[in-house]
Chains A and B, each alone.
Chain A
Amino acid sequence: MIVLKEIEKALGKKIVLKNLSFHIAFGEKVGIIGLNGAGKTTLMNVISGILKPDKGFIRVNGVESPMEHHHALRNIAYISGTRPQLWKDLKIKDSYEHCQKMYQIDKETAKCRLNALDEIFEVKPFLTAVPNSLSLGERMRCELVYGLLAEPEILMLDEALIGLDVSIKHKIMGYFEQCRMEKKSTMLFTSHNLLEVEKLCDRVILLDKGEIIFDGSIKRMMKEFAPLYRIEVKFEGNLPDFEDLPLEKFYYEHGVLEVVFDKQKIETTQLIKHIMEKCTVKDVKIKEPDLEDTIKKIYNGRKRS
């Protein structure tokens, strides 16, 4: 359970977070997205307690600053792609052993968890290596296992999936999706890869210059802000007449008709039916707007206003 109320934070003279308020319930998976410098990492730092807000009210699992309470820290893992937690001069397995001691996990449980995590992250070959001898992706996998060993209630991932291979990333995403289904832990996730966010999170908080500009489910965001849909139709015969259908635009080039429309005004099926009635269609391609397009639109909208 995370509660933020009217949080403000300035670093130097720059105000990084402005008047942020939101709740995150237990088990929610929240993606924090925004452009560079939007305040994502600062927000994560404030929640973890590494940074103290200048103003406002914050509680994480009922504690104001987890940093000062070891029992609270045992339930939080903050995995960052830019700040390694593994000690440079320790072998990975020694770091894991420290983790087991610090989080007071008994030896057998830790072993079981490590075996289970190894199936996904494949870290066993690196156990006797030191972090610096590993590649970025390999190290990141070790970092993730380190954070997950303690099975924290609150899992914070700040750009934690960088440098991973496609195949292993797929497995890891699968693992997190499974976590999402099980609702065992609260997850906060920042990433530049919106595909990841879309897959892993129920809810997104969109930040722009330290302010929340959207907070809600991805579905709602798409419905409210999704830009226009496009259909590409290859057909034979004459250009169909659209009569009074509420389309935005259409282009015709090299035998391909491209129709741009707003889904709130006309359904896709209705439109296709109309075209099929008028001419022989050879091929149809529907382009749905994705999260990226939607977010782009939201930002552009803000810039204009």
Chain B
Amino acid sequence: MRTYLEFAIKKFQNKMTYRFDFFMEIVNTIITIVVYLCIYKALYGGTKDIDGITYQMVATNFVISMGLSNAFKFNEMFLQDKIHDGTITNEFLKPVNFTFRMLWENIGEGAFKIVFNFIPALIFTIFYTSFCPPKSIINFLVMLVSISLGYLILWLISFIVQTWSFWLFSVWGIITIKNVFVNILSGSLLPIWFMPDLLRKIISFTPFESIYFTPVRIYLGELSGRDILSGMAIQILWIAVLAIVANVFWKKGVKKLVVQGG
């Protein structure tokens, strides 16, 4: 465990050396959030709420889900590159679990981007528009836990698609499509509140809702007491299911590599 944490810390430090990169990313995050907030401001056009959803709630949803989805981006071609240049086999010969190493390095990168991308963007947008405050300190803290679980779901979905590069020459297209699905269905482009009932029902049976929407609802106090627990239970359930699926693909892929030599 210590070793894996070290990987995350190293990655965090490593990212610090590319400052220009992250400066540009802050600008990118701010622009996307501001553009979407402008659109919704215009759509609301002064009305207080639509179906009980206020502009502030929408703005909060955007900043959390879109800000985080920018912060949680990582190199999804990593596994494919490792398989293509053959260096993946070297990783198997290291006395650490390669998947965990990948995960922790991505966590390190995510932590870096939260500190140096999400928080600056957040501070900027606070001056630009008004948000809902968290329902309570406890809600805020629980949200932090829920966001971590959401990250794991996001990571596992990405990892599953990445493992397909054991069989496919390029997974770039699939990853792009996957990202469109994640962005739309997780509510980071269009808040899930405004989706048609049928679609909302369908989404509630997918892991996408658990990524950002559950934390947002915990933050706003839309979920309380027992609902928070069940919301997080669903998150954990999805993590378990996705982890099993990921493991199956990973084991099969490694076996293919070991038997056929890549």
Contact = CB atoms under 8 A, between A and B. Distances in A.
Contacts of A67: 92-93, 258
A12 interface: yes
> Which of A45, A74, A98 has its CB near the most chain B CB atoms (within 10 A)?
A98
B47 interface: no
Interface stretch (A84-92, A161-169, A219-227, A288-296): A84-92
Nearest to B259: A52
A84 B7 CA distance: 19
A227 B241 CA distance: 67
A70 B90 CA distance: 14
B261 interface: yes
Interface residues of A, number: 31
A82 B2 CA distance: 31
A56 to B, nearest CB: 14
A85 B96 CA distance: 14
Contacts of A11: 260-261
Given A45-B89, A83-B90, A90-B14, A98 B95 contact: no
Interface in A40-90: 42, 45, 48-52, 66-67, 70-71, 73-74, 76, 78, 80, 82-85, 89-90
A83 B86 contact: yes
A127 to B, nearest CB: 14
A98 B10 contact: yes
Contacts of A66: 93
Interface in B50-92: 85-87, 89-90, 92
Contacts of A78: 90, 93
A89 B3 CA distance: 19
A50 B256 CA distance: 11
A102 B90 contact: no
Contacts of A103: 95
A97 interface: yes
Nearest to A84: B87
B94 A45 contact: no
> Which of B87, B95, B258 has its CB near the most chain A CB atoms (within 10 A)?
B95
A65 to B, nearest CB: 8
Given A52-B258, A52-B259, A73-B95, A98 B90 contact: no
Given A83-B89, A101-B3, 11 more contacts: A45-B261, A49-B92, A49-B93, A52-B258, A67-B93, A78-B90, A78-B93, A83-B87, A83-B90, A102-B94, A103-B95
Interface of B: 2-3, 6-7, 10, 14, 85-87, 89-90, 92-96, 257-261
10 contacts: A49-B92, A50-B257, A73-B93, A78-B90, A83-B85, A85-B87, A97-B10, A101-B2, A101-B6, A102-B94
